[in-house]
A = this chain, B = another copy of it.
């Protein structure tokens, strides 16, 4: 075709001389231009099929580019366009089924839209969250999706988020959010999830309904506890602080569980996560009690454990994947049409009760 043998030959010589190892170095517009005796701009336009360029040169350039497998350099394009096509995701923990599920939703949607995802794990630490965020904010990404670390929620310091949004970088918070931050959010109705679970217990005739939870500074735990209390009061069942077992960390202490169940007589347990629920169930079963006959269990987060426990754990599904997709959708919308009017939405997803063997039905 339009490629002369001499041209191709010269090119190969040049490139095999540069390195003695057989490295196929990436080719650039400049190389194509030089070999074909045209300017860089012509090559750039020819590859975009611009009307400005004659059809014969377009063919020559395109053939050459294909032959040498030219692919534009992402970094150069990012610098020029001030658009990286990357989105930053900061989550407290990657080895956590719910976050992983959300991440899958984000990744799926983002990828379909041509975005890549850079993940940073805050490890529940405020400092790491700040460091990671500042690092990514310096040009590496076009927007953030994140769930606050517990360290940040405890410290209640959101200056790093404010700085980012003030720079005009879009931010979407999911699951672990904070009132004071002006940005888009996507959460599930945790309060309602707990409310519905407790209501189900009561309909099933349960009277002494316990709650296993973590410390209140985690926004979701707080919401769930509120729903628990509300359902009890709405149904004329007293709210009794003694029926709340609060773990100070994610480290489960079997002693606390034992003390609690020895002290309090309960016939139903709502847990803010799977792990606490499974531990409770194991303890109850080890005491020879039957689930759900003697005690019912419902746990938040419909993960693997709920599904494969014996009996299966009735769960409040949080629709993580959907949450991730929505977060990504909102973010990319903001990135691509960065309108000046600052309007923020909060999408609230409805939780679903997945009934299994740990409750009667």
- Assess the A134–B78 pair: CB atoms within 8 A: no
Check: A47 CB closer than 8 A to any chain B CB: no
Check: A100 CB closer than 8 A to any chain B CB: yes
- Assess the A25–B72 pair: CB atoms within 8 A: no
Binds B, one of A116-124, A192-200, A262-270: A116-124
Give chain B residues whose Cβ lies under 8 Å from the Cβ of A116.
Answer: 118, 120, 135-136, 140
Contacts A23-B167, A107-B121, A120-B107 given: A79-B75 contact, CB under 8 Å?
yes
- Assess the B107–A111 pair: CB atoms within 8 A: no
Contacts A305-B305, A308-B305 given: A95-B101 contact, CB under 8 Å?
yes
Residue in A24, A75, A100, A285 whose Cβ sees the most chain B Cβ within 10 Å:
A75
Q: Chain A interface: which size bin?
A: 35 or more
Contacts A21-B340, A25-B168 given: A74-B139 contact, CB under 8 Å?
yes
- Chain A residues 63 to 103 lying within 8 A of chain B, measured CB to CB, are 71-76, 78-79, 84, 86, 94-95, 97, 100-101, 103
Contacts A166-B23, A304-B305 given: A74-B138 contact, CB under 8 Å?
yes
Check: A278 CB closer than 8 A to any chain B CB: yes
Give chain B residues whose Cβ lies under 8 Å from the Cβ of A135.
Answer: 74, 116
Check: A104 CB closer than 8 A to any chain B CB: yes
- In the assembled complex, the CB of A198 is this many whole angstroms from the nearest CB of chain B, namely 24
Complex CA gap A21/B278 in Å reads 51
A166's closest neighbor in chain B, by CB? B24
- Chain A residues 1 to 38 lying within 8 A of chain B, measured CB to CB, are 20-26
- Within 8 Å by CB of A167, from B25, B278, B310, lies B25
Complex CA gap A277/B25 in Å reads 48
- Assess the B121–A119 pair: CB atoms within 8 A: no
Check: A290 CB closer than 8 A to any chain B CB: no
Task: Please list the 8 inter-chain residue pairs (A to B) with the smallest Cβ-Cβ separation, ordered nearest first.
Answer: A73-B139, A75-B139, A74-B139, A71-B138, A74-B140, A24-B166, A23-B168, A74-B138
17 A–B contact pairs at CB < 8 A? A21-B342, A24-B166, A73-B79, A74-B139, A75-B139, A79-B79, A86-B140, A94-B107, A95-B97, A95-B100, A111-B121, A116-B118, A117-B120, A278-B308, A282-B308, A304-B304, A304-B305
